Amino acid sequence: MKHPMCPRAWEVEAARDGRLLGEALAKHERHRQTCPGCQREHQLASRLSEVLAGEPVDEVALRRARASLLERAHGRSSVRSRPTWSSWTLAAAVALLVALGFWLRGRAVSTTLQRPTALDVAPADGARWTRRDTETHHRIDLSEGTLELTVTRSAGRRPVVVQVPDGEIEDLGTRFRVVVHDAKTESIVVNEGSVVFRRPALPDVRLSAGERWDAPRVATASPTAAAVPEAVAPMPAPARRSPPPSSAPTAATPPASGEEDVAYLRVVGLLREGRAEEARLEAREYLRRYPDGFRRREMERIGR
């Protein structure tokens, strides 16, 4: 319904901008209570504020940017010192090296082309992904499938961020694998270096070489099936010096390890629910099935 324009409609804007004060403001507010035209103006202005806010800010990206900001600021502050004769000498030496670099580059372009890339991505399982490089970081968007990433730090200091449907993973090291399935991160396996997994409203998960993270799953083996919590677990195979990316998935995660993890997590889930007796039985079952399992000692303690 179209309302007639009120001659005092300008007051709505003036009130919002703080141009109406005291009695003038009070008069306007009284008038607005009874004037459909001014009410409509007021509603439009309020709606405008809401729409201008746009989509919610990505809290996870902000957390990453915070870490990057502090790193950059630290880098700046640590080099900000009074120049001395030695620093001038160093600067001259650097300038000389740069000049030498340019000269060599002109002579042997092929040599520079052989430098390692900063980021090597090996997709698997029909991975759907894209890559974008910005001024501050390399960004991979992974919506489905598996990616094996190898990062060569010497070739570039920009961090590598893998955007997954439910968060993001920032590479702090050199080699890791990410599996996404059905719009959820299923697992992260770190072979070298470390990564941090950030998700909205959840604490960061930091994984180091030899560790893996698995998404919480629903255990189906027992009738008392319960959602098991997520966990960071050491990988069963020694991973510090594992084979090249193409063969890494099978080497890092033998099929049995997943089942062992589920069995362990089932025990943890029962304990958290206060079902101590069932947890004890499940722990014994774990020991029966995996007598040399990685959580043997813990399971022995619970199973007593």
Partner 1 sequence: MAVAVIRELRVVPRADDGADADLLSRIAKGDLGALGELYDRHAVAVLRFTRRFAPHEDAEDATQVVFLRAVGAAARFRAGTKARPWLFGIALRVLRERRRSLARWAAALADLGRQPARVVPAPDGLERDVARALASLSEADRACILLAELEGLTGSEIAEILGVPVGTVWRRLHDARRRLKRVFEEKT
Binding site for partner 1 (CB under 8 A): 13, 16-19, 44-45, 47-49, 51-57, 59, 61-62, 65-66, 68-70, 72-74, 76-77, 132, 134-136, 139, 200-201
Neighbouring residues of 249: CB distance < 8 A, sequence distance ≥ 6: 124, 146, 148, 177, 189
Least distance (Å) between residue 53 CB and partner 1: 6
Least distance (Å) between residue 13 CB and partner 1: 6
Q: In this complex, which beta carbon is closest to partner 1, that of residue 137 or of residue 295? A: 137
Name the token pair of 92: 């001259």
Q: In this complex, which beta carbon is closest to partner 1, that of residue 25 or of residue 124? A: 25
Q: In this complex, which beta carbon is closest to partner 1, that of residue 133 or of residue 285? A: 133
Q: In this complex, which beta carbon is closest to partner 1, that of residue 13 or of residue 259? A: 13
Terminal-to-terminal C-alpha distance of the chain: 75
Least distance (Å) between residue 49 CB and partner 1: 5
Name the token pair of 175: 């080699």
Least distance (Å) between residue 16 CB and partner 1: 8
Least distance (Å) between residue 41 CB and partner 1: 8
Cα 22 to Cα 231: distance, rounded to the nearest angstrom: 60
Strand-pair partners of 190: 176
Rg (CA), the chain: 29
Q: In this complex, which beta carbon is closest to partner 1, that of residue 45 or of residue 108? A: 45
Q: In this complex, which beta carbon is closest to partner 1, that of residue 12 or of residue 263? A: 12
Q: In this complex, which beta carbon is closest to partner 1, that of residue 42 or of residue 175? A: 42
Least distance (Å) between residue 219 CB and partner 1: 22
Q: In this complex, which beta carbon is closest to partner 1, that of residue 57 or of residue 113? A: 57
Least distance (Å) between residue 56 CB and partner 1: 5
Least distance (Å) between residue 69 CB and partner 1: 5
